[in-house]
């Protein structure tokens, strides 16, 4: 990784941060979900910190209970990015759109139009959808994994072909001769697959980066093939360095199998944080966030017990005390859960059950609750171990968490030579260091 710089994406969630009770934190804007200005402000803070992109995950369904929790996703990712595009200049704009429940033509049109509007800063995270509640919203059922990925291949190929169907120099705008475009260079694609088809062309010219950057998220053999064939960016969720290195190596190998330079595909791994001037201050933030949903604490305690193979419940143990020695002697990490190693390590340090949970051992991404230096140390360790090319950052509370990361962590990373001090260019491809592309490549 010599001379390489880590890349950072800000995972926007629904505008509140990575914890679904953080909307209640002091200083948080409880209206963020319906206040696009709050969303835009978060993106502008990230651009101030030279983040390469913002990233919006999405599933076309209500995915969690909104009785006490904030939503997992914004009202509409593309409309949110449209608002951000008009208020920013450099930061990339990446959103998820399902290949399972969207026609390729609609995907191609929306993303390429936004790429033009943003002057070449857009990326499409192409994913399959397996959620039954999402399928129900389209009057459908969940397809088999094989069908979902077959649809994904067809969708991406059609989308990229549509993106390239308007010739690079077809837009003439010749006012003297009266020619708006050279229609000989605007060609139908006439693609017919088993699941999708499109005649084309798409009447939108190239942007400054040619076409939007393709991203991918999802594991397994099928996910690796999708990434290796098409993606320039991959969002991944490993929990430890070893599995992260293995996944990154597999992605790079997949790219090589399709005749691509493995350096042209970047893996960003999910990472969560809570910052404080001391570790205890950061843990207090975590405890406060946890306290907003006391009904969830028994579930967390029980799950922690399953992770280390000993029974735990709020009725049987005092969660503000360390795990009893007799139980600790029986504890073993669950080989099926990579988070369990860290959980057991913290339990052996003799800290309370509540603080073990505050350290985020059952969170979806690795989490650091600590000082800016501790957060920077974690990012440096993973990056230098070649476990990733960068991180998809999820603050505990937005926009306070974003501002603190930009002001306190980014300078440390820059001083260590791990992170760029300014944008390399104005397009997402330039800033990611991936090649210009226009149209479907022959892999």
Nearest to 409 by CA among 51, 25, 29, 24: 51
Q: Are 285 and 278 in contact (CB under 8 A)?
A: no
Q: How far is CA 247 from the centre of its chain?
A: 16
Mean pLDDT of 138-158: 97
To the nearest whole number, what is the mean pLDDT of the chain?
A: 95
Give the pairing type, strands 191-192 and 197-198. antiparallel
Helices then strands (H, E): number in the chain? 16, 13
How many angstroms separate the CA atoms of 415 and 132, rounded? 47
Confidence of residue 136 (pLDDT cuts 50, 70, 90): very high
Looking at residue 27, its pLDDT comes to 85
Q: Could you give phi then psi for residue 84, rounded to 5 degrees?
A: -65, -40
**Residue that has been written with the tokens 């913290």 in this structure:** 346
Per-residue pLDDT reduced to its tens digit, 179-191: 999 999 999 999 9
Per-residue pLDDT reduced to its tens digit, 49-59: 999 999 999 99
How many angstroms separate the CA atoms of 324 and 135, rounded? 46
Beta strands in 254-389 (DSSP E): 266-275, 367-370
Bridge partners for 272 per DSSP: 367, 394
Looking at residue 190, its pLDDT comes to 97
Q: Are 216 and 226 in contact (CB under 8 A)?
A: yes
Mean pLDDT of 298-310: 94
Looking at residue 2, its pLDDT comes to 60
Q: Could you give phi then psi for residue 335, rounded to 5 degrees?
A: -65, -15
- Per-residue pLDDT for 442 more than 80? no
Confidence of residue 97 (pLDDT cuts 50, 70, 90): very high
CA distances (Å), 296 to each of 156, 231, 357, 358, in order?
40, 37, 12, 13
Per-residue pLDDT reduced to its tens digit, 206-235: 999 999 999 999 889 999 999 999 999 999
Looking at residue 271, its pLDDT comes to 97
How many angstroms separate the CA atoms of 316 and 301, rounded? 11
- Per-residue pLDDT for 389 more than 70? yes
Confidence of residue 385 (pLDDT cuts 50, 70, 90): very high
Kindly state the helix (H) or strand (E) to which residue 439 belongs, with its residue range: none
183 CB-contact burial (10 Å; exposed 0-12 / middle 13-18 / buried 19+): exposed
């Amino acid at each position: 990784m010599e001379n390489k710089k880590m890349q950072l994406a800000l995972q926007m969630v629904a505008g509140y941060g990575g914890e679904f009770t953080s909307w209640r934190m002091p200083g948080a804007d409880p209206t963020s979900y319906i206040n696009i200005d709050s969303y835009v402000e978060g993106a502008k803070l990230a651009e101030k910190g030279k983040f390469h992109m913002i990233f919006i995950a999405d599933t076309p369904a209500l995915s969690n209970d909104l009785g006490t929790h904030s939503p997992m996703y914004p009202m509409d990712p593309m409309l949110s990015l449209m608002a951000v595009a008009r208020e920013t200049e450099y930061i990339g704009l990446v959103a998820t759109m399902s290949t399972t429940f969207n026609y390729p033509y609609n995907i191609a049109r929306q993303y390429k139009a936004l790429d033009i509007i943003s002057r070449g800063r857009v990326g499409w995270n192409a994913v399959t959808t397996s959620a039954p509640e999402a399928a129900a919203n389209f009057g459908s059922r969940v397809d088999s994994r094989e069908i979902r990925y077959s649809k994904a291949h067809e969708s991406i190929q059609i989308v990229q072909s549509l993106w390239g169907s308007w010739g690079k120099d077809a837009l003439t705008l010749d006012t003297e001769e009266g020619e708006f475009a050279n229609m000989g260079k605007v060609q139908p694609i006439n693609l017919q697959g088993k699941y999708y088809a499109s005649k084309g062309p798409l009447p939108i010219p190239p942007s400054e980066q040619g076409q939007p950057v393709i991203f991918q998220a999802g594991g397994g053999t099928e996910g690796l093939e999708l990434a290796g064939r098409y993606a320039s960016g991959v969002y991944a969720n490993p929990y430890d360095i070893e599995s992260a290195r293995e996944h990154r190596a597999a992605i790079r190998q997949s790219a090589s199998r399709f005749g691509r330079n493995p350096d042209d595909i970047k893996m960003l791994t999910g990472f969560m944080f809570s910052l404080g001037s001391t570790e205890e201050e950061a843990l207090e933030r975590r405890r406060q966030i946890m306290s907003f949903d006391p009904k969830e604490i028994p579930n967390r305690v029980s799950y922690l017990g399953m992770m280390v193979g000993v029974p735990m419940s709020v009725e049987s143990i005092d969660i503000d005390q360390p795990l009893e020695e007799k139980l600790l002697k029986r504890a073993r990490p669950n080989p099926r859960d990579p988070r369990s190693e860290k959980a057991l390590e913290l339990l052996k340090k003799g800290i309370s059950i509540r603080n073990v949970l505050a350290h985020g051992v059952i969170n979806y991404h690795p989490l650091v609750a600590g000082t800016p230096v501790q957060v920077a140390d974690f990012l440096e360790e993973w990056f230098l171990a070649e476990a990733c090319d960068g991180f998809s950052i999820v603050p505990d509370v937005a926009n306070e968490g974003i501002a603190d990361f930009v002001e306190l962590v980014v300078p440390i990373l820059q001083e260590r030579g791990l992170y760029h001090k300014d944008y390399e260019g104005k397009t997402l491809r330039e800033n990611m260091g991936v090649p210009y592309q226009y149209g479907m490549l022959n892999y």
